[in-house]
Structure 1
Amino acid sequence: MAKTEAKAAEAAPKKSNAKLLIILLSVILLVVLAGGAFLLLKQSDHADEDEDVVQQEKPKKKKKEAHAPVFQALETFTVNLVPEQGDQYLQVGISVELEDVTDGEKLKVFMPKLRNQITLLLSSKKASELTSKEGKEKLAEELRETINVTLDPPPKGKKAESPVKEVLFTSFIIQ
């Protein structure tokens, strides 16, 4: 009997040690899981902040890109060019890309003045200046500046607003 009591006494501490070990491992596991959950929540908070920042930036971009481009076709211009080899003529169709629809209305209001400015500019050119791609691009830029200054003259010492973003040639004939 003494042997059985000794075995029972040894088994009891082993069981309590095993229970203590299981409880200790369970606590450690819970701490690790809680720490992992905390990190995940912290990362999701940062992700939410990043999404908020991205969402705040997106509307700004959407405001710029919210509307489709606005194009306005001008009447065809036919002018005499500066003579180099006899009489030469330029017939050009022009469309302009505008910043806003309201600029299209302003363009219609100023059309007589615009036609005059554009005709003066076109008739001051030589055919040799306009035959190359670079010459046409330079003319488009000069037309854009002329139209912008006519539509919205700049205050003294300041740069003009740009209602016209780009001038496009729809036809270009030199004879």
Structure 2
Amino acid sequence: MATAAAPAADAAPKGGGKKKLIIIIAAVLLLVLIGGGAAVMLLKKKAPAEGEDGAEDTHEAAPAPAAHAKPGAPPTFVPLDPFTVNLSDKEVDRFAQIGITLEVVDAHTADQIKAYLPAIRSNVLMLLSHKSSVELLTIEGKEKLAREIRRESVRPMGIELDDEDEDEAPAAADAPVKKKKKKKKHQVESPVTNVLFSTFIVQ
């Protein structure tokens, strides 16, 4: 009888040992979860506190977004080497020496323009060589040339601008103007905002 009771007594501690082990593991897991939750809460509280301290930094660093804003940003210029070309005058040989600077929207665009400079110079040279001295000596002729250079300078980048002169030419006839306006529904924004002349000599 005593020997039969002994295995029962031994069995009880084994079963109790498993239960104790499960309880200990569950307690450890619970402590880890509680500790992790507390750590997350502390980190969340620290982040806004640093944000409050860093709020002054963000106010001081406010000009950074303004760098992307076009109105406040300083202009970016890309000067081209001077152009010397024979003009299309038939009566007498005449040539022009013209210095051109392109005004662009930002420094990134200036880098893009520089990458396309050989093609841009070629387009501008072709444009200038078809001009006569009579066209270039008037203010209207210079303004028209500036618009054409602006159009030709972005063409190598795959940007096609509407020809403003073609739209203005049929101003006398109302019907053709309406047709032109239909074609000009979506305008492409040019990265070259202005064309400036640094030298302009016609001889």
Q: Which amino acid aligns with 2:91?
A: Q
Q: Which amino acid aligns with 2:190?
A: S
Q: What is the alpha-carbon distance in structure 2 between the residues aligned to residue 118 and residue 154 of structure 1?
A: 15
Mark the CA change 1:67 to 1:152 in structure 2 (over 3 Å): closer, same or farther: farther
Cα pair 2:85 2:125 within 8 Å, conserved? yes
Residue of structure 1 aligned with 2:129, choices 123, 130, 143: 123
Cα pair 1:77 1:91 within 8 Å, conserved? yes
Q: CA deviation at 1:167?
A: 0.2
Residue of structure 1 aligned with 2:96, choices 84, 90, 97: 90
Corresponding residue for residue 162 of structure 1 = 190
Q: Please tell me whether residue 66 in structure 1 is matched to residue 72 in structure 2.
A: yes
* Cα RMSD after superposing both structures: 2.2
Q: Which amino acid aligns with 1:169?
A: F
Deviations 1:20-50 (A, max 9, x none): xxxxxxxxxxxxxxxxxxxxxxxxxxxxxxx
Question: Equivalent residues in 2 for 1:18-167 (5 A)?
Answer: 63-154=69-160, 159-167=187-195
Q: What is the alpha-carbon distance in structure 2 between the residues aligned to residue 127 and residue 84 of structure 1?
A: 10
Q: What is the alpha-carbon distance in structure 2 between the residues aligned to residue 114 and residue 140 of structure 1?
A: 14
SS in 2 for 1:129: helix
Cα pair 1:94 1:171 within 8 Å, conserved? yes
Q: CA deviation at 1:160?
A: 3.1
5+ residue gaps, structure 1: 1-58
SS in 2 for 1:87: coil
- TM-score, structure 1 length as denominator? 0.60
Deviations 1:87-107 (A, max 9, x none): 100100000110111111111
- TM-score, structure 2 length as denominator? 0.52
Deviations 1:53-87 (A, max 9, x none): xxxxxx89x82323101011000000010023311
SS in 1 for 2:69: helix
Cα pair 1:92 1:170 within 8 Å, conserved? yes
Q: Which amino acid aligns with 1:164?
A: V
Q: What is the alpha-carbon distance in structure 1 between the residues aligned to residue 187 and residue 93 of structure 2?
A: 38
Q: Give the paired residue count.
A: 115
Q: CA deviation at 1:154?
A: 4.4
Q: What is the alpha-carbon distance in structure 2 between the residues aligned to residue 64 and residue 76 of structure 1?
A: 28
Corresponding residue for residue 199 of structure 2 = 171
Q: CA deviation at 1:173?
A: 0.4
Cα pair 1:152 1:160 within 8 Å, conserved? no
Cα pair 1:148 1:163 within 8 Å, conserved? yes
Q: Which amino acid aligns with 2:142?
A: K
SS in 2 for 1:104: helix
Cα pair 2:96 2:201 within 8 Å, conserved? yes
